[in-house]
């Protein structure tokens, strides 16, 4: 049992025994460095149950705890803070129980619990993945892995936006200007090739608008009457009508894109358990709208459009079916959510990884699903995240100014190579080993830089500053891991047996940091925040480096201390590796 749980139980019992008052909770914080102690009980909140001097209440509780809890050997009170000193034996016994536990921090899924479905990526098939998709994928994948570690069964999914006018723009541009070009003939990844034609459409469309404006039309009229946009609209109608020629072109170009996406996902280190396609889901939800009208959840206006009135909930009226009977995105999302639960009967909740510009959309979606009476709708979460900015400014796909995900990963690997060569850390490595290491460092830097930030916050991403071997960066943590592995390789003696020693202050602090790892996993899962794991790992690494600088490990003369310190270093390394794997980050054995 955690020492905090033991103390909380006894503080409650002590308060009842001393004052005959029951208290619901006990507030803790880490003991400040200038005071003796390992964990601090904050007395001030207890004054709402027992009026009095907080110092005296702290003294009363301190005496009770020392008398009744063998793990607590001393206490001191500073104003309204009860600082408790934990016996070394508790920490050494705790460490010995976790040392050989390879799944420390992970909880096995409960069979009776419902699964969670985590949606992320969800790209359009008219362009390659870009920097915004990188944050989306890294967040979604990490949250899925963290939920698994916290004991949830998880399905990772995406819905691929493979239909619509934007898809037809790429198709039409390739048909008019492509001259039969293919990924093979152009030596381009399929998603990049198709993306080029999306840009080409925009360029030619703007020329047509310019010509029409020059002939006397307003810009708004020109945008609607430009031949290219009219052709794209006709192509969409043909697609919806099942025109064989258009469908064949759509299938061919989408196949190119999927091959390209697969390469990017593999390099990024993310995967999916199941895929959904908008071309299969865009008609879903219409039957639900009909049921909702019968239940009085939706209503028809005079023009035949169907709406949902959410004004009582502080929102507005939301259209769910147009007057011509066609669905809107909300209709489709309602139907897709319901379909997923039909496809996976054990799904009891979903996480949607989508940018914060869609906050209101998901607020409405979740509320409508609750009104429709689905129990699982109570377990829907929008993993909302801020945009990723670059020093060069905002990205625009149609203008071809996006930061391509593949190019970014190559740039990160190149930056890692340049900095590593400057530092001269890779003597004795083969070229293949160096290249693998550059990729591990570069991608680790990218992923950590993005994931250490709270998802809701906007990020200004600077590739060069992310590849730094000092500070709160992925490479700094990777380097510490490699340093520990080097120590382990040099420990040629038997260090497999448990030992009991008097702990150095730095050993105790390191064990205390290890002790909270399972709690950090649960917190990260509850908050859908990989940043909690990232910053915990940085704190663990800082604590290890302080330990490393203050005590001798392999040079220690006392054999029991040397054994314990090697074990402690090894457990820190395995925890770093486990935590980083939750973030999708690899750690190198040598560096």
CA distance 329 to 295: 22
Each domain of the chain, given as residue ranges in start order, spans 3-86, 164-270, 405-582
What CATH number is given for 405-582 in this structure?
Answer: 1.10.730.10
pLDDT of residue 270: 98
Q: What is the pLDDT of residues 18-62, one digit of tens each?
A: 999 999 999 999 899 899 999 999 999 999 999 999 999 999 999
How far apart, in whole angstroms, are the C-alpha atoms of residue 160 and residue 70? 59
Rounded CA gap, 110 and 359, in Å?
A: 31
* Residue 252 confidence class, pLDDT cut points 50, 70, 90: very high
pLDDT in tens, 521-531: 999 999 999 99
Query: How many Å separate Cα 319 from the centre of its chain?
Result: 32
In the chain, what is the straight-line distance between the N-terminal and C-terminal CA atoms, in Å?
37
Lowest mean pLDDT among 153-167, 221-235, 378-392, 545-559: 378-392
Q: And the tokens for 171?
A: 């198709």
Q: How confident is the model at residue 425 (pLDDT cuts 50, 70, 90)?
A: low
3-86 has which CATH code? 3.30.1360.70
Do 3-86 and 405-582 fold alike per CATH?
no
At 403, the pLDDT band (50, 70, 90 cuts) reads confident
591 pLDDT band, cuts 50/70/90, is: confident
352 in Cβ contact with 143 (< 8 Å): no
pLDDT digit string, tens, across residues 157-200: 999 999 999 999 999 999 999 999 999 999 999 999 999 999 99
**Interval 440-457: pLDDT, tens:** 999 999 999 999 999 999
CB 118 within 8 A of CB 140: yes
- With beta carbons less than 8 A apart as the criterion, state whether 406 and 427 touch: no
Low-confidence winner among 1-5, 67-71, 186-190 (lowest mean pLDDT): 1-5
Residue 129 to residue 402: CA distance in whole angstroms = 9
Q: Is the pTM of this model over 0.75?
A: yes
**Pair of tokens at residue 148:** 């698994």
% of the chain residues with pLDDT over 70: 98
For residue 398, pLDDT over 80 is answered with: no
Average pLDDT of the segment spanning 144-154: 97
Which residues in 102-236 belong to E strands, given as ranges? 115-119, 154-160
Closest CA to 349 of 518, 521, 143: 143
For residue 268, CA distances in Å to 263, 313, 409, 446, 474 come to: 9, 41, 8, 10, 15
Spatial CA neighbour of 184 closest among 255, 127, 125: 255
Q: Specify the pLDDT at position 392.
A: 62
* The pLDDT value given to residue 118: 98
Decide if pLDDT at 396 tops 80: no
Indicate whether 253 pLDDT > 70: yes
Average pLDDT, the chain: 94
pLDDT at 429 over 60: yes
The SS3 call for residue 551 is coil
How far is 53 from 64, CA to CA, in rounded Å?
Answer: 17
């Amino acid at each position: 049992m955690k020492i905090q749980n033991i103390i909380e139980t006894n503080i409650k019992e002590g308060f009842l025994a001393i004052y005959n008052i029951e208290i619901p909770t006990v507030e803790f914080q880490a003991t400040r460095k200038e005071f003796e102690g390992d964990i601090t009980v904050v007395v001030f909140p207890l004054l709402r149950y027992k009026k009095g001097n907080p110092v005296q209440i702290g003294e009363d509780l301190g005496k009770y705890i020392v008398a009744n809890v063998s793990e607590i050997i001393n206490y001191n009170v500073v104003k309204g803070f009860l600082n408790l000193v934990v016996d070394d034996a508790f920490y050494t016994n705790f460490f010995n129980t976790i040392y050989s536990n390879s799944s420390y921090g992970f909880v096995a899924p409960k069979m009776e619990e419902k699964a969670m479905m985590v949606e992320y990526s969800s790209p359009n098939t008219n362009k390659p993945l870009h920097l915004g998709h990188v944050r989306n994928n890294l967040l979604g994948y990490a949250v899925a892995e963290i939920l698994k570690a916290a004991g949830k069964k998880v399905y990772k999914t995406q819905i691929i936006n493979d239909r619509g006018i934007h898809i037809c723009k790429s198709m039409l541009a390739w048909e008019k200007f492509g001259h039969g070009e293919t990924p093979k003939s152009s030596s381009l990844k399929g998603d990049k090739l198709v993306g080029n034609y999306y840009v080409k459409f925009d360029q030619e469309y703007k020329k047509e608008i310019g010509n029409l404006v020059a002939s006397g039309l307003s810009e708004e009229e020109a945008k609607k009457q430009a031949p290219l946009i009219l052709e794209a609209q006709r192509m969409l109608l043909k697609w919806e009508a099942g025109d064989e020629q258009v469908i064949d072109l759509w299938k061919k170009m989408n196949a190119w894109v999927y091959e390209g996406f697969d390469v990017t996902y593999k390099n990024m280190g993310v995967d999916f358990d199941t895929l959904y396609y908008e071309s299969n889901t865009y008609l879903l939800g219409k039957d639900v709208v009909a049921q909702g009208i019968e239940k009085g959840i939706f209503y028809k206006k005079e023009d035949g459009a169907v709406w949902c009135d959410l004004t009582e909930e502080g929102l507005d009226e939301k259209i769910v079916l147009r007057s011509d009977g066609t669905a809107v995105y909300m209709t489709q999302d309602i139907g897709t959510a319901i379909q997923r639960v039909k496809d996976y009967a054990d799904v009891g909740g979903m996480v949607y990884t989508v940018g914060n510009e869609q906050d209101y959309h998901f607020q409405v979606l979740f509320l409508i699903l609750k009104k429709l009476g689905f129990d699982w709708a109570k377990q829907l979460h929008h993993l909302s995240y801020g945009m990723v900015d670059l020093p060069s400014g905002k990205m625009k796909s149609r203008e071809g100014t996006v930061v391509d995900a593949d190019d970014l990963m190559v740039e990160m690997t190149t930056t890692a190579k340049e900095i590593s060569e400057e530092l001269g850390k890779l003597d004795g490595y083969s070229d293949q080993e160096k290249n693998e290491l550059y990729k591990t460092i570069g991608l680790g830097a990218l992923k950590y830089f993005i994931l250490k930030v709270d998802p809701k916050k906007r990020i200004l991403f600077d590739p060069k500053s992310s590849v730094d071997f000092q500070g709160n960066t992925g490479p700094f943590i990777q380097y510490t891991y490699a340093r520990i592995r080097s120590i382990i390789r040099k420990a040629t003696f038997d260090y497999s047996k448990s030992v009991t020693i008097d702990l150095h202050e730095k050993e105790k602090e390191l064990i205390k940091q290890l002790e909270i790892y399972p709690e950090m996993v649960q917190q990260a899962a509850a908050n859908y925040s990989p940043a909690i794991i990232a910053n915990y790992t940085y704190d663990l690494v800082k604590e290890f480096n302080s330990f490393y600088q203050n005590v001798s490990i392999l040079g220690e003369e006392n054999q029991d201390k040397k054994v314990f310190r090697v074990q402690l270093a090894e457990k820190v390394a395995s925890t770093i590796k486990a935590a980083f794997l939750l973030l999708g980050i690899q750690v190198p054995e040598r560096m």
